[in-house]
């Protein structure tokens, strides 16, 4: 199963499966998966207050 890392303001916060990340952040699993897509990363990088980044670490 894929493992995702959560970063806030360029600092590592935690890692987990999409289900674990979604539960801990209070968001949908689809949102976790979207954040880690090239489109999601690009859109989030355009925000002035880029608070959170979710990156796929391994399969």
Q: What is the domain count for the chain?
A: 1
Domain that holds residue 22: 3-58
Residues 7-34, mean pLDDT to the nearest whole number: 94
Spell 36-59 as b/e; 16+ CB within 10 A means b: beeebeeeeeeeeeeeebbeeeee
Strand order in the sheet with 3-8: 11-16, 3-8, 52-58
Please state, in angstroms and rounded to a whole number, the distance separating the CA atoms of residues 44 and 32: 13
Question: In this predicted model, what pLDDT tens digit does every residue of 25-45 receive, in sequence order?
Answer: 999 999 999 998 999 888 888
Q: What is the pLDDT of residue 50?
A: 65
Taking the model in full, what pTM does it have? 0.83
């Amino acid at each position: 199963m894929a493992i995702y890392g959560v970063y806030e303001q360029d600092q590592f916060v935690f890692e987990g499966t999409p289900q674990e990340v979604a539960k801990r952040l209070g968001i949908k699993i689809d949102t976790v998966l979207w954040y880690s897509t090239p489109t999601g990363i690009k859109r989030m990088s355009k925000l002035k207050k880029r608070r959170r980044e979710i990156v796929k670490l391994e399969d």
